[in-house]
């Protein structure tokens, strides 16, 4: 696993929190876009899981493509993803670790 760290612009952190608040009690996920180790945008993605959005999250390949396109349009790159765990401690669940 890489130990690369990214700095979040303050507005990105606010956007992620707002997305979590809007989707609560369901999980949310989104793409992190940036350049040179700095995250400059968060792109909210729809939760398409059929297993129950309160405990699982699924990003469709087409939504992944949208995130890549947005990154390209912004002159950045897709750095990674954020993902909420409502009513769960803020660390990866065993399910997440098994499927990462």
* Closest by CA position to 83, among listed 29, 41, 33, 38: 29
Kindly report the CATH number that applies to the domain delimited by 7-99: 3.40.140.10
The span from the CA of 54 to the CA of 57, in Å, is: 8
Q: Is the pTM for the entire model greater than 0.95? A: no
pLDDT tens, position by position, 15-40? 999 999 998 988 889 999 998 878 99
Handedness of CA 20, 35, 58, 64 (dihedral sign): positive
What is the mean pLDDT of the segment spanning 79-87? 85
Domain ranges of the chain: 7-99
With a cut of 70, say whether residue 88 has pLDDT above it. Answer: yes
What is the pLDDT at residue 84?
84
Long-range contacts formed by 64-72: CB under 8 A, 24+ apart:
64/31, 67/30, 67/31, 67/33, 67/43, 70/31, 70/33, 70/41, 70/43, 71/31, 71/33
Strand 38-45, strand 29-35: pairing: antiparallel
With a cut of 50, say whether residue 1 has pLDDT above it. Answer: no
What is the pLDDT at residue 36?
81
Q: What is the mean pLDDT of the chain?
A: 83
What is the pLDDT at residue 11?
92
What is the pLDDT at residue 48?
67
Contact 13/44 with Cβ under 8 angstroms?
no
């Amino acid at each position: 696993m890489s130990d690369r760290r990214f700095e979040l612009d303050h507005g990105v952190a606010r956007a992620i929190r707002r997305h979590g608040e809007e989707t609560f009690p369901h999980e949310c996920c989104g793409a992190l876009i940036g350049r040179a180790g700095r995250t400059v945008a968060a792109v909210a993605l729809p939760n398409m899981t059929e297993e129950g959005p309160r405990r699982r999250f699924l990003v469709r390949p087409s939504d992944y493509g949208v995130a890549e396109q947005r990154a390209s349009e912004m002159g950045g790159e897709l750095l990674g993803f954020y993902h909420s765990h409502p009513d769960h401690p803020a660390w990866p669940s065993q399910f997440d670790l098994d499927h990462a």
